[in-house]
Amino acid sequence: MFDGTLSARRAHPSEASLAQAGQVTIRDVANRAGVSVSTVSLTMNHPGRVSEQTRRRVAQAIDELGFVPKADAVARARRGVGRIGVLGPFTSHPAAGRRLNGVLCAVAGTDLEVVVFEHDSAADSANPFLSGLPRSGRLDGLLITSILPEDDVVDRLLDLPLPTVLVDEHHRRLSSVHTDDVAGGRIVAAHLLESGHRTFAFFGEAQRSPRYASPARRRLDGFVEVLGAAGHVLPDSAIVWTSREFAAACARAGRLLSTLEIPAAVFASDDILAAAVLHAVRQAGLRTPEDVALVGFDDSDLAQVLDLTTVRQPLEESGELATRLLLEHIARPAPVRTTMLELELVRRGSA
């Protein structure tokens, strides 16, 4: 996997003709970047072992020279690689994993290959793979799940060009299939107010990047908006951010509960974090929903097991729809298309 942040520039005519003839070598890239051949190789094959500055220089040189590694030149010569990439936080976020299931269902029975790229967290938009995509032709298209690419990355994707569809995020220059996280927060607040609650708290995954608003942050915005309209101001002490490591989340949830006036209502930004709150509730000798009403987000299998009130997202459906949309873009150029899917409150025993 290649990694780096690119600063694209059109190659000089002589460079372009060399690239077209397949005469640009890794040594040319090294000379242009001012590094050794071994550093170029390391950057392309083990990007985590070189500095960001070096990745930038090597990536820019590859772009300027139009360098295509030999193995990729063969793939590029084929008429259609028949391969799409899917990038997302699949291991850390079960919801993203279910979206990936939808992608796989959409390509079942076809010859299309799916290459999965793991991203660390939906709370961080920075991804070296995205910013360092080479002109290799290894992918016909790309699905980006639960990550909002920054504008320079979007520029890069459009310049390649690499057909790209966002899943669970929205950008005005890329097609997308997503839901409205702010609306999800509003749904939760309205339900808790209608149920007669007067003390509220929010428990969400800590934002790791200041460059964009994560899904948890957007859900909090909708939650606070509706509570505020009803005359309830959510104090800073009632908004707790945590990592997704379960033991740490349980400890943070316990500290949150110790500051609340019971009975209270807690909105967790996803079902995993809601499970951490539920664990802390039981550890404190409290009950749901009598002492603590609890609402999660996603409607995962875990929510059903825990009898958790939650907001259902059409997870598999979003992956399937996005894949079909991507295949349309691969087949022929098409205008940007945005598909908004509906959210639904699922009432269970926790709230």
Asked if residue 91 has pLDDT above 70, the reply is: yes
The residue with greater pLDDT, 325 or 94, is 325
Select the more confidently predicted residue: 62 or 220: 220
Neighbours of 213 (CB within 10 A): 17
pLDDT reading at 74 higher than 80: no
For residue 164, the cross-strand partners are 142
Residue 75 has what pLDDT? 46
Q: In what order do the strands lie in the sheet with 239-242?
A: 239-242, 200-205, 264-268, 292-298, 309-312, 344-346
Neighbouring C-beta atoms of residue 58, cutoff 10 Å: 31
DSSP codes of every residue in 105-127: HHHTTSS-EEEEEE-S-TT----
Least confident of 82-91, 196-205, 250-259, 285-294: 82-91
* Residue 13 scores a pLDDT above 70: no
Q: Do domains 1-67 and 79-179+315-341 have the same CATH topology?
A: no
CATH superfamily of 79-179+315-341: Response regulator (3.40.50.2300)
Separation of alpha carbons 190 and 69, rounded Å: 55
Residue type, 129: F
- The CATH architecture one would assign to domain 1-67 is Orthogonal Bundle (1.10)
Strands 264-268 vs 239-242: parallel, antiparallel or unpaired? unpaired
Task: Quote the percentage of the chain above a pLDDT of 90.
Answer: 54
pLDDT at 39: 85
From 245, 61, 217, 53, select the one nearest 253 (Cα to Cα): 245
Per residue in 135-189, pLDDT (tens digit) is 555 788 999 998 888 888 888 888 888 899 999 999 999 999 999 999 999 999 9
Residue 70 pLDDT grade (very low, low, confident, very high; cuts 50, 70, 90)? low
CA distance 95 to 271: 9
Q: What pLDDT shows up at residue 186?
A: 98
- Mean pLDDT highest for which of 139-148, 201-210, 308-317? 308-317
State yes or no: pLDDT of 278 exceeds 50: yes
Q: What does the pLDDT average to over 50-57?
A: 79
pLDDT at 17 > cutoff 90 = no
Q: What is the pLDDT of residues 129-143, one digit of tens each?
A: 665 565 555 788 999
**In the chain, what are the domain boundaries?**
1-67, 79-179+315-341, 181-312
Tokens 């976020």 -> residue: 93
pLDDT value, residue 190? 98
Architecture of domain 181-312: 3-Layer(aba) Sandwich (3.40)
pLDDT (0 to 100) of residue 15? 46
Q: Is the pLDDT of residue 86 over 90?
A: yes
What confidence tier does 71 reach under pLDDT thresholds 50, 70, 90?
Answer: low
Give the whole-angstrom CA distance, residue 203 versus residue 199.
14
- Mean pLDDT (the chain, rounded): 84
